[in-house]
Amino acid sequence: MNTIKEGKTTAIVAYLTMVGALIAISMNSDAKNDFARFHTRQAFGLHLVFLGFAIFLSNWYNEYAWYGLYVFYIVLWFYGFLGALNEKKISVPLVGNYFQKWFTFIQ
């Protein structure tokens, strides 16, 4: 339980934009907190998916696709952020388990 309290700040910072995720990665580089690592991977993945689809949609404009992207991102971001605030390690729906597998370089 103590490791959750120690990593909570880093976990919350990770959800504050892509820059926040990169800051959280560096914050956790020495501490190696498991709770912070979990949420940093979740947040980094969410931000990366959002940015990737935003770049794709900027070339192929469809208003409804943009709405879908923002709803998808905001709902999953909010789910992950609340998990970090409530000190729970719950993966975001649909993609969270993949983020844990893909981003193993985040220690």
Q: For residue range 18-52, list pLDDT tens digits in order.
A: 899 899 989 888 878 889 999 999 999 999 999 99
Q: Alpha-carbon torsion 19, 24, 30, 34, what sign?
A: negative
Whether pLDDT at 1 is above 60: no
Q: Give pLDDT, residue 69.
A: 92
CA pseudo-torsion sign 99, 101, 102, 107: positive
Instruction: Locate the domains of the chain by residue range.
Output: 2-102
**Which amino acid type is present at position 60?**
W
Question: Which position has the token pair 């000190």?
Answer: 87
Q: What is the pTM of this model?
A: 0.87
For the segment 44-87, what is each residue's pLDDT rounded down to a tens digit? 999 999 999 999 988 887 888 899 999 999 999 999 999 999 98
- pLDDT of 2 > 70? The answer is no
Residue 55's pLDDT is: 92
